[in-house]
Structure 1
Amino acid sequence: MFLTFFLLLISIGAAFVIVPKLLHVDEVLIPEDLAGMEYSEVYEALTALGLTVEKETMLHEEIPEDHVVRTNPEGGRTVKVNSIITVYVSEGKEKIEMVEVTETDKEQARRTLIRLGFKEENIEEVPKESDSIENLIIEQLPLPGEKIVPEETVVILTYSIPMKFSLENLHGLTRLEAIERLNNLGLNIDVKEEYSDRIPEDHVIDQKPARETIVQKGTTVTVIVSLGPEPEPPPEPINTVIVAPVPLSPEDEMAGIEYPVIITYRDSNVSEHTLFVERNISKLTEFRVPVTINPGDKAEVIRYIAGEQYGDPIILTYEEALANQ
């Protein structure tokens, strides 16, 4: 009986010693200053302590993406091993989808981006030769739809500039051939004309810029086209003098008799006979009548003595006047 009671006491004492040890769970201290660290580093540190990590993401205006904002429980707290620690990780600032600015003018695209919060100094413009309209945005980075933070994002806008090429030789082409070729290249055309004894009419004499000059779409090319040989200048009017002698008989001259004389004329400037001079003479007198004769025309002088026409009209044709020059 006594032995039984003694064994019972020993069993009860052992229970008080062994059972607490079996029920005991270790505790660990959550490190402080986890905020701001990279999530991967925090994860390794907590799991090394025997803690279970659950990740939650959240927006944050200051802490960078994939860095820890806080933990729950907070750092500095003691928790049991295998406890669940929630780690709140920053997604960074709120993101928006990148807008599409291709197929718009580069100045308009820049204004659009600035209005959406992109920094002007973060907008880079890169020219690229293209058949597209000049200054049109043809490529962009980031691509449309990508998630970005406007004020932190560098945008690269590639815009179109005219393609450059070597100007071909237009010499000897017809006017229409030269115009068609330049139009097909997107070049502007300025046609000028010159006489040439060497290049046939309506063919290209020269071009500016010269052949093999590097030009781009929209450049103005001056094409000089032949008018053929320069024509002879048209004949000009001739200004000359018709000499109209009015003689008297020797007897009348000796007697000093005076006769009234009238001289009239017609030329290319005067269509009807017009009085040139009316006077008395007492001896042989030559009247010099100035006239103008156009090509194909003639001038005419008529003499009158005492009211009667003297002799035939004096006629001078253009050809005769030209031969007398």
Structure 2
Amino acid sequence: MKKIELKKLLPYIIVLGVFSLTVLVLISTADLWILPAMVHNKPIVKVPDLTGKPINEAEKLLETVGLNYEVTSEQYSKDFKPGVVISQTPKPNLMVKQTRTIFLIISKGEETAIVPYLIGQSFRIARTTLINKGFKLGNIRYEPSDAFGADTIIFQSINANTSLPFGSAIDLVVSKGSELQVKVPSLIGLSLEEAKKSLSESGLNLGNLNYIENETFMPNTVINQNPSPGALVKNLSNVNLTLSR
């Protein structure tokens, strides 16, 4: 009974086998000949130059010639604005098949940093802070200051919290400390001891002493001085005296 059923099914089995074999042959033929032929028959196009173009403009140019694109990375650049193509692969003017993918690197614009507040900091700390924030030291100028101690920042050329390109230079003014100017008192006619006291009270020092013969003044009397009375000099400056012998 089973042999009779098998004989009845045999023609169907043969037909199914032939059909399956035919399908396999067709698939193999397509894989070996038809698909490669389709690929090889794609038009050859020239890769457009996309460098310096905004990404939306680059996309339109690629669509025009039937090419695809992929953004591989974004990088800071001082030469290209944000959203502009920095470089591409393959390079411009190469001949490629349509649907080829062009890989793009896009600009994020120039890298910026926030200027720190430096007033009141020591020069050493201010310099380290600037470098750590990505800035460079610009011109350094030293000036006297009554409000800030020596070697302290009293001015910065760019206000704090300003956004500047990475690597910008910041100029600084550094305090030399207090250098109050005082008016030289008139010492002529005073004795040496009186002159010393007057200089001390004015914040000045006694300088060189020169003695000359003079019949008008008593001995050890100031008959000349340098700087002259009323001159403005730095605190603790020396005042030279000429005394009668």
Higher relative contact order (CA closer than 8 Å, sequence separation 6+): 2
**TM-score with structure 2 setting the length:** 0.44
Structure with the higher fraction of residues in strand conformation:
1
**TM-score with structure 1 setting the length:** 0.36
Structure with the higher fraction of residues in helix conformation:
2
